[in-house]
């Protein structure tokens, strides 16, 4: 029987993957941290290892390095889960010897099982016939303890279709999401009210941990919209924790907007076919080539396509012809300011409600007032974090689509 080692500190996610592999005939062991995982690599001698890069005690990157340094483990398949936006960490994992890096938000147990089967050598002994998982009770206990996927359980019989199990898992996720969002809002308030930087960073780290868990839960539950936004928000919180100077009114407002929108998704019961119905298209209007490239780079990280217009008049003509899901406007441009362009584009039927976000170095009261009076929905201050802009873009694109093209 093939053996799988899962190293994951989120017990619910670990149990869901463990139960799936058990149903497929694998022998499974689960470790809650890097040090325990390394010990099991020695004692259990798995045929493949699946691990989260964000592990306590010993990080996933360091664990991968140690495994690869040992004789006989040079070819052991190591699959790592990471945040899609933390590309530097994924590159570190690949350099350390990871066989495959996966986005936790975009991966489901069935896909990971198929990947492991492809990675195992052809002459490896076949897995035993599927059997009911002995870990179902553990999963049920964990589910009751974690509100995000409150009632997810392994199917009672192996013959139950995957689609039925996935639907039940998704439904339990939806039912548990309000409680999770209440926790996130409480932690966000603690961040805002923190009396000093030490306390603020501690609260941001706890908020990051909770969002990291939400990303994993949404991924295994098959709720891609929540997983995609949570994945980006998780990366933003990690950046704020690592760079305290980036904790500003702008970044905290972006975090708050993202948390609130997760609540709106919940209220919509995640009925979100419109969110992914077609690739989102974003217009970036900025006469500064470097600034425009920075915005489009951030949009690329969020997997959003964009068009750059360097001249406000050219942008207006483009808006008169085409539809966009979101518009980013610079304020200071020759011939026509961003405020003036925003006022004019609101006269176009197709863009009466298209969300507009100003990108500006100004953060005073007059600038905020002008952005609102001209018809803007929000603004982001320069210099901005790429991931902050990515989070804000996802929120506004999704919000616009949920309303059928009519912004809130």
Regarding whether 340 and 360 lie in a shared domain, the answer is yes
Regarding whether 69 and 47 lie in a shared domain, the answer is yes
Query: Domain containing 198 — which CATH number?
Result: 1.20.120.160
Residue 6 in tokens: 């899962």
Q: How many domains in the chain?
A: 3
Backbone angles phi, psi at 127, to 5 degrees: -70, 150
Show the domain range for 132. Answer: 3-145
pLDDT at position 85, please? 85
- The residues of the chain scoring below 70 in pLDDT are 122-162, 267-278, 362-368, 405-408
Task: Find where tokens 């996966």 sit.
Answer: 102
Regarding whether 301 and 217 lie in a shared domain, the answer is no
pLDDT at position 268, please? 67
Regarding whether 332 and 230 lie in a shared domain, the answer is no
Angle at 192 between CA 202 and CA 354, to 5 degrees: 120
**Bond before 239 cis per omega within 30 degrees:** no
Backbone angles phi, psi at 153, to 5 degrees: -135, 155
Taking a C-beta distance cutoff of 8 angstroms, is the pair 42, 63 a contact? Answer: no
Regarding whether 224 and 289 lie in a shared domain, the answer is no
pLDDT at position 271, please? 52
pLDDT at position 140, please? 38
Write the DSSP string, 101-169. Answer: EEEGGG--HHHHHHHHHHHS-TTSPPPPPP---TTHHHHHHHHHH-GGGTT----SSTTS-HHHHHHHH
Looking at 267, 295, 314, the residue that finishes a domain is 267
Residue 398 in tokens: 């999704």
Kindly state the DSSP code that residue 60 receives in the 8-state scheme. Answer: H
Regarding whether 133 and 12 lie in a shared domain, the answer is yes
Q: What is the CA radius of gyration of the chain?
A: 23
Regarding whether 27 and 141 lie in a shared domain, the answer is yes
What are the CA-CA distances from residue 320 to residues 313, 343, 349, 351, 397 (Å)?
Answer: 11, 14, 9, 9, 19
Query: Domain containing 316 — which CATH number?
Result: 3.40.50.2300
pLDDT at position 154, please? 42
């Amino acid at each position: 029987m093939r053996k799988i080692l899962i190293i994951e500190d989120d017990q619910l996610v670990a149990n869901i993957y463990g139960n799936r592999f058990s149903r497929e005939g694998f022998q499974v062991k689960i470790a809650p941290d890097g040090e325990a995982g390394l010990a099991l690599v020695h004692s259990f001698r798995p045929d493949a290892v699946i691990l989260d890069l964000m592990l306590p005690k010993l990080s996933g990157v360091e664990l991968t390095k140690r495994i690869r340094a040992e004789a006989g483990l040079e070819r052991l398949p190591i699959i790592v889960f990471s945040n899609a936006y933390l590309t530097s960490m994924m590159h570190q994992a690949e350099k350390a010897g990871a066989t495959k890096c996966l986005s936790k938000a975009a991966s489901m147990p069935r896909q990971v099982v198929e990947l492991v089967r492809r990675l195992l050598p052809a002459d490896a002994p076949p897995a035993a016939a599927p059997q009911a998982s002995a870990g179902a009770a553990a999963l049920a206990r964990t589910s009751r303890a974690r509100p995000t996927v409150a009632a997810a359980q392994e199917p009672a019989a192996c013959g139950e279709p995957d689609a039925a199990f996935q639907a039940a898992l998704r439904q339990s996720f939806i039912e548990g999401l309000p409680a999770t969002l209440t926790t996130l809002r409480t932690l966000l308030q603690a961040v805002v009210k923190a009396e000093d930087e030490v306390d603020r960073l501690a609260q941001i780290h706890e908020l990051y941990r909770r969002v990291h868990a939400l990303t994993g839960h949404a991924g295994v539950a098959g709720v891609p919209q929540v997983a995609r936004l949570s994945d980006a928000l998780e990366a933003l919180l990690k950046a704020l924790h690592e760079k305290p100077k980036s904790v500003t009114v702008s970044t905290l407002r972006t975090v708050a907007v993202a948390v609130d929108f997760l609540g709106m998704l919940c209220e919509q019961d995640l009925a979100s076919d419109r969110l992914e119905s077609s690739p989102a298209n974003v217009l970036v209007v900025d006469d500064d080539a470097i600034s425009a490239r920075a915005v489009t780079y951030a949009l690329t990280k969020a997997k959003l396509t964009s068009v750059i217009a360097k001249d406000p008049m050219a942008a207006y003509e483009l808006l008169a012809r085409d539809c966009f899901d979101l518009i980013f406007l610079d304020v200071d441009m020759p011939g026509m300011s961003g405020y003036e362009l925003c006022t004019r584009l609101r006269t176009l039927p197709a863009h009466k409600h298209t969300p507009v976000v100003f990108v500006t170095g100004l953060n005073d009261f007059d600038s905020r007032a002008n952005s609102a009076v001209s018809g803007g929905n929000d603004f982001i201050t320069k210099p901005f974090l790429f991931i902050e802009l990515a989070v804000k873009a996802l929120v506004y694109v999704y919000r616009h689509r949920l309303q059928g093209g009519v912004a809130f």
